Amino acid sequence: MFDGIDVVVLPVADTGPLRRLYVDAMGFEVIEAGPVREPEPWARIWDLPLPPESSLLLGKPGSQGGWIRLVGVPGLPSPGPAGIPDRPGPYALDFYLRRPGETEAAIEAEGWRFVSDPVDYLLPGTEHPVRERMLDQTSSGLLHAFVGYREGRTRCVLGERPEVDVSEVNAVVFATDDLPAARAFAEEVLGGRIYFSGRFEGEALERLLTLDPGEGFDAVLTRGPRSRNARLEFIRHLPRREPRPMTGAPRVVAECAMDDLAELAGRLAGGSHGESTGIVATAEGPRLGLRSRYGAHFSFRQR
C-alpha cells in the first residue's frame, strides 16, 4: 500500500547547484554521499539514458518521507523549462516554510528566480488561507511551491522541530493527459487514499503560475493511511495548440516502499500502466522501476 513518497530522486548533470539550493538555502542535511556502486541496474530502474555516477541523499531528520536524492549523470541533457503545466510529466515539488520571506530572500541571494510575487488564496473547498510562491528550479525543469506553514494544520517536520525553517518535500506534482486513469492507478494499484479531487482555478492561481485568464486545472491528491510525506499529486495538463513534449531523461523519480513488491510486480506486468522493469536485484535489495503512462516515473522497494 502506498504511504507517501520516501525519496524524490532528481537526476541532473551537475549536482552542485542543487546541493547549494537544498543544503545551503533550504537547510536539508547531507545523509550520505558517494559513487553509485551499480550504475547499470540503477540506470534501468530510474530509466536513465546514461549511467549515474554519484548519489547525494538529503533529508530532514525527524520527517517521515519527502527526502531528496540528487543523482549525478554527466552528459544528461538540460531540461526544458517548467513554464505552465501544458505537457505530461513532473511539474512541481511542494515545501512548507516557517518564515517564507527570510527563506525566499536567502534563495534569491543564491541566484534563483521566483516566477511571481507571493499570492494569498483560500484552499479549494475550505476556508483555510494559503500563502504561496513559486520558484523556478531550472536544474530539473521544475517549479517549487513554497507554502506558508500553518501551525497545527499542516503535517511536516516543522511541527516536530521548531528550529527548522523549511520542511521536507510535502508533495510531488505530475501532470497527466489522463487524470481519471491516473486516479484509478493511485487508488487501485498503489492503494493510495484520495483526500482531494477537484479544480484549482481563480485569479490567485493565474498570477501564481502566469496562466491566462480563466485557466485552471483538475487535480487528484493522494496520501497514505499515516499521511506521511511526500504526497502524490496528479493534475490534468493544460491543452495547447502547440504542446511542448517532454525532453531527455526523467527529471523526477518517486521512490516508494510497498507492502508486497512481488504482488505489485504482477499488477504491472501486463503493461497497461506503463513500462515496468520487473523486479531488479541490487545490493540495496530488490527494486522495481516503472515509467508510467501518467507522466510519472517510480522506483518501488519492499517495505
> Over 70: is that where the pLDDT of 245 sits?
no
Give phi and psi for 182, each to the nearest 5: -65, -40
Per domain, the residue ranges of the chain are 7-302
Average pLDDT over residues 94-112: 95
User: 62-99, pLDDT tens digit by residue?
Assistant: 999 999 999 999 999 988 888 889 889 999 999 999 99
The candidate with the shortest Cα–Cα distance to 227, out of 60, 63, 28, is 63
pLDDT, residue 224, reads 87
- The DSSP call for residue 184 is H
Q: Alpha carbon of 300 to those of 23, 116, 265: distances in Å?
A: 26, 35, 9
As given in the structure block, the three cell numbers for residue 9 are 530522486
Beta strands (DSSP E) in the chain are 7-12, 29-35, 54-59, 67-72, 89-97, 113-114, 119-122, 129-137, 142-148, 171-176, 193-201, 216-223, 231-236, 253-258, 274-280, 287-292, 297-302
pTM, two decimal places: 0.95
Q: Which CATH superfamily is domain 7-302 in?
A: 2,3-Dihydroxybiphenyl 1,2-Dioxygenase, domain 1 (3.10.180.10)
Q: Pairing relation of β-strands 89-97 and 142-148?
A: parallel
Contact 52, 41 (CB under 8 A): no
pLDDT, residue 171, reads 96
Contact 75, 281 (CB under 8 A): no
In the numeric block, the cell 530510474 is attached to 46
User: 30-42, pLDDT tens digit by residue?
Assistant: 999 999 999 999 9
Cis before residue 230, ω within 30 degrees of 0?
A: yes
